[in-house]
Amino acid sequence: MLIIADNNIPYAAEAFGRFGEVRLVNGRSLTAEAVKEADILLVRSTVKVDEKLLGAASPRFVGTATIGTDHVDQAYLAKRGIVFASAPGSNAESVGEYWSAALLFLARRLGLELAGRTVGVVGVGNVGRRVVRRAKALGMDVVKCDPPLGRETKSDEYRPLGELLERADLVTVHVPLEKAGSDPTWHMADEGFFARMKPGAIFFNLARGPVNDSKALAAAIDSKKLSAVVLDTWEGEPVVDPKLAARADIATPHIAGHSFDGKVNGTQMLYAAVCRLLGEKEAWKPADSLPPPEVPRLTVEAAGRSVEDVCSEAVGALYDITADDARFRATMTRPEAERGKLFNDLRVNYPPRRAFSYTAVVAKGATAAQKGALTGLGFRVSAL
């Protein structure tokens, strides 16, 4: 078999080599000619999988090692009988860790006490659930909005969007990009959305760029309706509006879910899907390939400090979100013709970021609240 895989999918050769030849390619320059003989095609979100790409090919399986699937024409694949799989939830912990780092950074910068403030989580799927857990770990109240889940569960824990916007001090969106259907999300965060938010609220978009209307968002920032904005996804990617990037308090190039472990999870999920298709037992185990973490153990002096202060130190020791922000902002001064390539380069060459769970935190003199918060953020915690 010929397996063609994006070279940004870690351990593709190790996982799929037992099935045949693994050919690693640059997904951003993938052509119909390059995939013409593929039996298995493994991509990431930079590859548009449709009739144009696959018209002359006859793969048995197409997989995307990503949560999102809006880059794949699933109807076309189904029509041709091509098995498709994605990796839902593979990088959800990574996005949750990014969210924690961004929130704690803003809290320090703005002088905010997080405990008792209200977070509005729009979209409570794999990522949203992890954001809810982290918000509660930091002592925040949570309002959840997820119309599909609300209909499915008939639970009043899922509130209308308007109510969430009016109650939340921080609104964070974690929804798929849908232009049609019963719950469209394209430009969901429009002028009316921002008008209903509390004055001085904070807005996060770590989902898809077009979930917010960029012009409406810029206007909400300029009018001081919003006190802070965190953007990891952008309309028009990979070419980003530098004026909007300059307005954001944290601006990064769609890397919230780019932790090394999140990518490996995606590989594992596609590998399991191919094994099911071929009727083979799973032989490759990600744990056999993973390198040790850079920070296996971290000691934090917790006595006499606030929960937020202790959590900020622990998170900051593993992930400096300001470095991601600085690298991205440095590209915004370049000509537009270069910025798209630079955006992609930042994603392809993203430095390895390991999951918090690989680090054991020794919290000296920690209270139950401090230990609970660190655990809720994903750390393994012990106290002295």
So which residues are the catalytic ones? 208, 237, 254
Q: Which residues contact 339 (CB under 8 A, 6 or more apart)?
A: 238, 239, 240, 242, 331, 332
The amino acid that residue 232 corresponds to is D
Distance CA 260, CA 30 (A): 23
Q: Are 91 and 266 in contact (CB under 8 A)?
A: yes
- Three-state DSSP at 74 gives helix
**8 Å CB contact between 114 and 92:** no
Phi, psi of 203 (to 5 degrees): -125, 130
> What is the CA angle 91-283-16, rounded to 5?
65
85 phi/psi in degrees, rounded to 5: -145, 150
**Is the distance from CB of 231 to CB of 325 less than 8 angstroms?**
no
